[in-house]
Amino acid sequence: KAGVTQTPRYLIKTRGQQVTLSCSPISGHRSVSWYQQTPGQGLQFLFEYFSETQRNKGNFPGRFSGRQFSNSRSEMNVSTLELGDSALYLCASSLVQGVDEQFFGPGTRLTVL
Amino acid sequence: AQSVAQPEDQVNVAEGNPLTVKCTYSVSGNPYLFWYVQYPNRGLQFLLKYITGDNLVKGSYGFEAEFNKSQTSFHLKKPSALVSDSALYFCAVRDPNSGGYQKVTFGIGTKLQVIP
């Protein structure tokens, strides 16, 4: 069974631009979560989607948004990029929420210049 | 609100020695607890979890963790460290009593360095 895939793997953008990241979960997984990973902050929860609905949201500004499609694939969008948005963005999927562990993709490395 | 703390930024251990990576948590009820590992330039991988039952949980690569409710801890352990265990380790908690769909909170991570 294929793992979680994320595209693109690397992105370089300039301040003020916007970016869209994509995540394809493991087949059959309906829950997709997004995290921002930085050296000083660890993993910060962005949001979680289940059956195309956002179920949870972390403490990030409204510039960060996401959505989930009927096939469980998910996208996250960051508008008006800031230097501080440079990070590794990780997507994770699980069968359902609760007791299930999450399976992580390799991440998208975003660099904002 | 739920939280998890990993008090050590880095743990150094000699190859062959036992290792412990510490984790403490705070939730309102009985927690679901997880350990993940991140090898250099790779995504996070699931190691083990505690949901209910036996306080000692065994996971991948010879790792185990002990759930201690009175000390609100879930320390990761391995009897004999390998150089290949060198990686970044994350503890995570989910509070099943928080209602609805509950998010997972991760610790800041502990870098494990196994010295040959």
Q: Which of residues 20-79 of A touch B (CB under 8 A)?
A: 33, 35, 41-43, 45, 48, 50, 55-56, 58
User: Of B31, B33, B35, whose CA–CA distance to B21 is shortest?
Assistant: B35
- Tell me: the pLDDT tens digits for B33-76? 999 999 987 789 999 999 988 999 999 999 999 999 999 999 99
- Tell me: the pLDDT tens digits for A5-39? 999 999 999 999 999 999 999 999 999 999 999 98
Q: Across the interface, which of B44, B102, B109 has its CB nearest the CB of A104?
A: B44
What does the alpha-carbon distance between residue B116 and residue B112 come to, in Å, rounded to a whole number?
13
User: Of B45, B32, B4, whose CA–CA distance to B102 is shortest?
Assistant: B32
- Tell me: the pLDDT tens digits for A93-110? 988 766 688 999 999 999
A4 touches chain B (CB under 8 A): yes
Determine the number of helices (DSSP H) and then strands (DSSP E) in chain B.
0, 12
Return the amino acid letter for B4: V
B5 touches chain A (CB under 8 A): no
What does the alpha-carbon distance between residue B82 and residue A4 come to, in Å, rounded to a whole number?
28
